[in-house]
Amino acid sequence: MSKSTRVEFPRMIRGSVVVQRRRCGTPTCRCADGEQLHESTVLSYSQDGRNRTVMLAPEEIAKVRAAVQRYRAAQSRLEDQGNAGLAALLTRRAAARRAR
């Protein structure tokens, strides 16, 4: 596959990586007594007001965690910038009021 057609792994992903533990439903399975549940690592996210999950392949987990971390860092920086802008506007407003 050429580089231009390959889908790059996303740099940022919204959601949380969580480990789910559950029974599979097979009565004879080791999970049936509730002691040894099946574990799967999923990305949990909300869309259209619903919580959803998508199963992650073992080789995806570290990359997804990193992308979630990048998203959160970017979101936090954006929030800081927005708050700084708000504070600056309020300061200007107060200074203008004092000058009158």
Report the distance separating Cα 40 and Cα 55, nearest Å: 7
Q: Which of residues 37-96 bind Zn ion (CB under 5 A)?
A: none
Selected from 29, 73, 78, 86, the binder of Zn ion by CB under 5 A is: 29
By the 8 A CB rule, do 37 and 22 touch? yes
The span of 10-18, 19-27, 58-66, 77-85 binding Zn ion (CB under 5 A) equals: 19-27
Report the distance separating Cα 76 and Cα 83, nearest Å: 11
The span of 1-9, 16-24, 64-72, 75-83 binding Zn ion (CB under 5 A) equals: 16-24
- Secondary structure element (H or E) that encloses residue 81, with its range: helix 61-99
User: What's the closest the beta carbon of residue 33 comes to Zn ion, in angstroms?
Assistant: 10
